[in-house]
Structure 1
Amino acid sequence: MAHTFHGVDAFRSAAGQDLGAGPWFVVDQGRIDAFADVTEDWQWIHVDPERAATSDLGGTIAHGYLTLSLLPRLSSGIFDFDAVGRAVNYGLDRVRFPASVHAGERIRARAELVAVDDTGAGALGRVRYTVEVDGGTRPACVAEALMLVLPEPTSPGDRPIDTPYRAP
């Protein structure tokens, strides 16, 4: 069950906590092919099952950026928000792809809220995601995502997203 942060202050107070792991998710060949079409990255290691099967890979593998792009989906089973204006992606730090995800494998994310800094407009959280491959010994992806969490506006004209953020 996903943890719900009830407001920006609850998010701030969770700094340093392990948020746990989400449910398993299958990365199938159809998703890999669709990602290849969107990004126009049709390298054979991703989209040619016959050729990939005869290589040292043993089959097709997901794009690293596909694995990364699944973080919102994977994290939805770990945590969500209530009583906030919005939570927006602010960027990524330290992204690595230590292991491949083969077509048909299951992955899940583990999340740790490493730190939360006050921005004046809200809170900037640093969430470390480790994407595990079911049965694997190394993670498929390790990334630190920056998430800006803004409070609910106090009046209809409030636009806290326009408040400039200065990194600490």
Structure 2
Amino acid sequence: MRAFATLDDLAACVGQHVATSDWVEITQQKVNLFAQATGDHQWIHVDEERARQGPFGAPIAHGFLTLSLLSQFFDKTINVVSKSMGVNYGLNKVRFMAPVPVGSSLRAHLHLHSATPIDGGGVQLQWNVTVEREGSDKPVCAAESLVRIYP
């Protein structure tokens, strides 16, 4: 966990790689729970037998499951001690470049692109996030994530 005393301390990191998260394992249980929560029961995710015969040779995680991990990656990797709250403000770009087979481990590389003051004394941060799969040279996801943090 990388800690920053203030929003200004974090904003001083614009243009830098700020942190790399710990690895998170993608289990079939996580994939199934995500399918239940979203109603996306596509067979390549939840039908283990059929998925083994499919184009990826195994069940794969939903792209949006991978994307939803961004909250966890940020929460467990970066802390602004003086903040009262942080909120997801949205995404500018998202790409899913490679499948995530069940049993994979993922981690995120967090690069702070910009920090813009907003009303209420907060800061809007644009993060360039790259999610990698352990053992693979190709990223599985890249996203521009917008986060607002308030003192």
- With the length of structure 2 as denominator, give the TM-score of the two structures: 0.94
Question: Which amino acid in the other structure matches residue 69 of structure 1?
Answer: S
Distance 1:39 1:106 in 2: 22
Instruction: Kindly report the root-mean-square deviation, in angstroms, between the aligned alpha carbons of the 2 structures.
Output: 1.1
- With the length of structure 1 as denominator, give the TM-score of the two structures: 0.85
Distance 2:46 2:36 in 1: 10
> How much does 1:98 deviate?
0.4
Secondary structure of residue in 2 paired with 1:70: helix
- Count of aligned pairs between the two proteins: 150
Is 2:138 aligned against 1:135? no
For the 8 Å contact 1:108–1:132, the answer to whether it is kept is yes
Distance 1:13 1:19 in 2: 10
For the 8 Å contact 2:2–2:19, the answer to whether it is kept is no
Distance 1:84 1:75 in 2: 14
Greater mean alpha carbon deviation, residues 55-64 or residues 75-84: 75-84
> How much does 1:76 deviate?
2.9
Q: After TM superposition, which residue ranges in structure 1, 4 or more long, deviate above 4 angstroms?
A: none
Q: What percent of counterpart residues are identical?
A: 37
Distance 1:56 1:83 in 2: 48
Is 2:57 aligned against 1:58? yes
Question: Which runs of no fewer than 5 residues in structure 1 stay unpaired?
Answer: 152-168
For the 8 Å contact 1:114–1:127, the answer to whether it is kept is yes
Partner of 1:110: 109
Instruction: Answer 1 or 2: which has greater strand percent.
Output: 2
